[in-house]
Amino acid sequence: MSRTLIACVGNIFLGDDGFGVEVAQRLLRREQKYPQGIDVIDFGIRGIELAYSLLEGYETLVLVDTVSRGEPPGTVFLIEPDLSATSSDDSFALDAHSLDPVKVFAFARTLGVPPIHTLLVGCEPASIDEMQMGLSEPVQTAVGEAIKMIDALVADLCMPTT
C-alpha cells in the first residue's frame, strides 16, 4: 500500500503563517478520516521532526503552508516543486523555531531519505510579519478550499493504478 504524509506547517503566532496548522486541525477534527496509509500531521515549526518522519517510508508528501507569490491573499495553489537541486550538504543549520522546507529536505537527505514525490498546497498570506494570533479573513476562508484540494489529491492517490 502506498503511504502519503500530509505535513501541515506554520507558526500560529505569525498570523496567516498558521494556515497549515489550521488545515491540519480541521482535517484531524472531522469525522470522515482518510484511508489507512494517509497520515495527517500538524508539524507547526518542528522541521527536525518532519525530516525524521520522512524516514518512515512515505512515497508522497503533501506539504501545506503559506506561499507568497504576489497573488491576492487567500489564493490557494497546488505546486509540484522541483527538489532535484536539494542536496545532502550538511553545511546548513536548522532553526528550532522556524521551518524552512528546503533546509528540512536537505537535512532529510543527510539522514538517508530518498527523493520523495512532493506536492505543495499553498495559500497566499495577507500578512505573516506581525506577531498576532489568528488568520486573516481571506486566508481563513481559503482553509476550506485547501481541504477540498487535499481531499481531491488523496482520492487521486488512492485510485488503483492499471
What DSSP assignment string belongs to 34-97?
PPTTEEEEEEET-HHHHHHHGGG--SEEEEEEE--SSSPTT-EEEE----TT----------TT
Residue 33's domain is classified under what CATH number?
3.40.50.1450
Task: State the residue for C-alpha cell 491573499.
Answer: 73
Stated pTM of the model: 0.87
More confident of the two residues 23 and 51: 23
Which tens digit of pLDDT belongs to each residue from 31-68?
889 999 999 999 998 888 888 899 999 999 999 999 99
List the one residue out of 40, 18, 51 whose CA is nearest residue 123.
18
Q: Report how many domains make up the chain.
A: 1
Which tens digit of pLDDT belongs to each residue from 72-104?
999 999 998 776 555 545 445 555 545 677 788
Angstrom distance (rounded) from CA 42 to CA 35: 18
Which tens digit of pLDDT belongs to each residue from 109-124?
888 888 889 999 999 9
What is the extent of the structural domain holding 38?
4-158
146 touches 121 (CB < 8 A): yes
- Give the pLDDT of residue 162: 56
